[in-house]
Amino acid sequence: MQYGKLGQANVTVSKICLGTMHFGTVTPEDESMRIMDRALEMGINFFDTANVYGRRVSAGLTEEIIGRWFAQGNGRREQVVLATKVYGQMNNDSNPPPNEDRGVSSYKVRKHVTDSLRRLQTDHIDLYQVHHVDRRIRLEEFWNTFERLIYNGDVLYMGTSNFPGWVIAKYQMYALQHGLLGFVSEQAQYNLLSRYPELDVIPAARDFGIGLIPYMPLAGGILTGKKPIVEGSRTQSVIAEYGLRVESSQLDTFSAFCREIGETEQVVSIAWVLANPVVSSAIVGVRTVEHLDGLDRAAEFKLSPEQMTRLDEMFNINSGRPLGKGEAPEAFAW
């Protein structure tokens, strides 16, 4: 396994981050335990979860499973850089109680962090991430809320997820002006089929020394070489949910490229994400122990400049547009 620093934080994380979203829903608890054991054996020391994971079965279920795994001892908790999230509604009620809808506030976060710590059976969260942008909260309340958690020792580092570049810059500038460390990471959907973060999220993260933690580096399984995309399959639902533009000829060309260089589609897809110097670690959500196979290879495999160029042309975010490509504003202006 390969390792690096998490953005500007002086903490070391594996280049592969174990995503636990399926624990307790798609993946039974016993298999989830085996996945975490095997991940640790492989050298994966970075685990990502969220308080809302498992909600459709039971509120906080995924965190509870991780907590029961930690409780088995043998240094499990001490070996893991643990990340979880706050923002979402913890039940499926269409009319949630006041202060329990989506968003963050001092009132809500204090309760939710206490609940996460209890479920995870730990005394601190290493990386606490705001799961989405709450456009209603003032900067003063936001940073007072989370700095209090850091001061109390409940949280070590702060991160974001699904934040646009302009919001990252706005919040980070406030933090720096007030002598705070601010965010150390941003978690965004980023893969060969979803390159929107290149417009402004990645430039903002790079400028502020924030580490990107891409989720869905395999685009929900689309970039693993599985064909065809079956009607009603999870892969098809991912395409619809995230609005991905998938062309079979494009995937065929990609698979041929992978065969040419002697690597699997999974390895190449993850290696491409990790090749971006802003990326600290790639989150791979696995459903079975077997899904861990090859992830250590993906962490160490390096694509050549020529191979990167070919992949860039193969999955060009600006394909068919008359203007440039890459970062804003050149992606849509002169």
Q: Which domain holds residue 293?
A: 3-222+267-303
CA–CA separation, 39 and 33 (whole Å): 10
Q: What is the pLDDT along the chain (334 residues), one digit of tens a residue?
A: 999 999 999 999 999 999 999 999 999 999 999 999 999 999 999 999 999 999 889 889 999 999 999 999 999 999 999 999 999 988 888 888 888 888 999 999 999 999 999 999 999 999 999 999 999 999 999 999 999 999 999 999 999 999 999 999 999 999 999 999 999 999 999 999 999 999 999 999 999 999 999 999 999 888 988 765 666 666 666 677 666 667 778 899 999 999 999 999 999 999 999 999 999 999 999 999 999 999 999 999 999 999 999 999 898 876 555 445 678 887 777 7
* In-domain check, residue 63: yes
For residue 322, the model assigns a pLDDT of 47
CA atoms within 13 A on the CB side of 309: 3
For residue 229, the model assigns a pLDDT of 62
Q: Are 166 and 135 in contact (CB under 8 A)?
A: no
* In-domain check, residue 213: yes
CA–CA separation, 314 and 260 (whole Å): 15
DSSP state of 23: B
* In-domain check, residue 76: yes
* In-domain check, residue 208: yes
For residue 318, the model assigns a pLDDT of 63
For residue 277, the model assigns a pLDDT of 97
Helix (H) or strand (E) holding 177: helix 165-177
CA 327-86-127 angle, 5° bins:
70
* In-domain check, residue 211: yes
For residue 162, the model assigns a pLDDT of 96
* In-domain check, residue 311: no
* In-domain check, residue 57: yes
Q: Give how many domains the chain has, as a whole number.
A: 1
Q: Are 304 and 275 in contact (CB under 8 A)?
A: no
Strand 282-285 to 211-212 pairing: unpaired
* In-domain check, residue 204: yes
CA–CA separation, 5 and 288 (whole Å): 28
Helix boundaries (H) for 227-327: 234-242, 248-261, 265-274, 295-300, 305-314
CA–CA separation, 312 and 292 (whole Å): 26
CA–CA separation, 76 and 162 (whole Å): 29
Q: Is 128 marked active-site?
A: no
Name the catalytic one among 3, 53, 151, 157: 53
For residue 249, the model assigns a pLDDT of 81
For residue 279, the model assigns a pLDDT of 98
CATH of the domain at 278: 3.20.20.100
In 3D space, the residue among 161, 85, 90 whose CA is nearest the CA of residue 125 turns out to be 85
